[in-house]
Amino acid sequence: AQSVSQHNHHVILSEAASLELGCNYSYGGTVNLFWYVQYPGQHLQLLLKYFSGDPLVKGIKGFEAEFIKSKFSFNLRKPSVQWSDTAEYFCALNTGGFKTIFGAGTRLFVKA
């Protein structure tokens, strides 16, 4: 069965620290991968997505993610976090059907 794993449920960083949130998926075929973000009190919104081409995908607000097929991973990165990045981050997978599968989410708290 297809699944998405996010290893860290909670991450606490200081401002200007580098961020990497892990995401691994289980599926052997073609994948479409997403990172969504939910800021406090706001809707979930798309941060970035990968479906083909360059495995390094750049999104909004300085975020990027790298698709590594051999590792079944799609980790989210940001070189220097800000207090405003405090949010919950969801990795998601679509393998071509009607359904997008979401990971459990990672809550990021950035200390000012």
Partner 1 sequence: DADVTQTPRNRITKTGKRIMLECSQTKGHDRMYWYRQDPGLGLRLIYYSFDVKDINKGEISDGYSVSRQAQAKFSLSLESAIPNQTALYFCATSDSGTPQETQYFGPGTRLLVL
> Coil, strand, or helix at residue 70?
helix
Least distance to partner 1, CB of residue 112, Å: 25
- 17 vs 73, beta carbon nearer partner 1: 73
Least distance to partner 1, CB of residue 66, Å: 18
Q: Which spans of this chain sit near partner 1 (rule: CB under 8 A)? A: 4, 6, 9, 32, 34, 36, 42-46, 49, 51, 90, 94-100, 102-105
| Integer Cα distance of 54 and 102 in angstroms | 23
Least distance to partner 1, CB of residue 39, Å: 11
Q: What percent helix, strand, coil does the chain show, rounded to 5?
A: 10, 50, 40
Expressed in angstroms, the distance from the first to the final Cα of the chain is 41
